[in-house]
Amino acid sequence: MTTYREAMREAIRAAMRADERVFLMGEDVGPYGGTFAVSLGLLEEFGPERIRDTPLSESTFVGAGIGAAMNGMRPIVEVMTVNFSMLALDQIVNNAATLRHMSGNQFGVPLVIRMTTGAGRQLAAQHSHSLEGWYAHIPGLRILAPGTVTDAYGMLAPALADPDPVLIFEHGTLYNLDGELDDQTAVDIDSAAVRRPGRDVTLIAYGGTLGTALTAAEQLSGDGVEAEVIDLRTLRPLDDETVMGSVRRTHRAVIVDEGWRSGSLAAEISARITEQAFYDLDAPVDRVCSAEVPMPYPRHLEQAALPQPDDVVAAVARMTG
């Protein structure tokens, strides 16, 4: 058994052993071992040239990562938590995502940016954002959201091989997740995955909401409703084919998204289903999202604000009852 955290660490270790151009940089990634202990022990193995602690200046070190990528290196930049990435929005959105286009294909930015996302750990409003939907809006970026131990390991290698910038969103509640590392090879970062087959309703989730959807599917099975669970895995570009194929089989869809409902990734997926599979639906698409409030600190309020399995079950009951 391996934890999600250990899988990420082993993926970085394998990448650095395989390619001397790969290095890790970010706040506290060195002697401290990373705020979430992902890089623990890597400094001792690879040294300070390849495991680089940075100042508390996200715009600066993301910009340095962009420059290194443009000059032939393969940097992995850790931005700690998604809210801190807002301090580097100009670098990510105006530089990394656009340089290939603005240079007439003369320059690519083969950069990987890792960051923690999501709530559920009582870190209050400023450290509990789910902003991956923001970044999924931006052409020029690939957005990954590993929801399993195997994907936590296997997504890094193809991300590093991508000639354009890739952002990996690691949900903070998953670091202690145990699981079998099924295959220590690269995974397909172009396709969603069917995590549970079903016939009655499609539950669409990713990252931290995958477990919510799977738990809800178990509860629904006890009531005789067989839910198919789709793990999006890649949020940009979305795998429409897998999603629409499932909806055409089950004729119902519920999207489980920890982002806020307004202007959300769930809204985009709902629109695509309506555009591409409207006449296959037996009920309107439903969305289970976080409450539209800054994330509360008290645990009971935080849990009330987040999508829960019972919320998903209730949504399915509305469309199947």
Catalytic residues, which ones? Answer: 58, 127
Name residues whose C-beta falls within 8 Å of residue 313's C-beta, 6 or more positions apart in sequence: 216, 219, 220
Cα gap 6→133, rounded to integer Å: 26
Q: Is 202 strand, coil or helix? A: strand
Strand ranges in 17-120 using DSSP code E only, listed in sequence order: 22-26, 51-53, 74-81, 112-117
Number of Cβ within 10 Å of residue 111's Cβ equals 29
Per the listing, tokens 């995502």 go with: 97
**Count of positions (residues) in the chain:** 321
Q: Given the DSSP bridges, would you call strands 234-236 and 142-144 parallel, antiparallel or unpaired?
A: antiparallel
Identify the DSSP state of 177: -
- The three-class DSSP label of residue 180 is coil
The CA distance from 135 to 145, in Å, is 12
Helices (H), the chain: 4-18, 42-46, 58-70, 82-85, 89, 99-102, 132-135, 149-154, 156-161, 209-222, 240-250, 265-277, 299-305, 309-320
Q: Is the peptide bond before 237 cis (omega within 30 degrees of 0)?
A: yes
Say if strands 51-53 and 22-26 run parallel, antiparallel, or are unpaired.
Answer: parallel
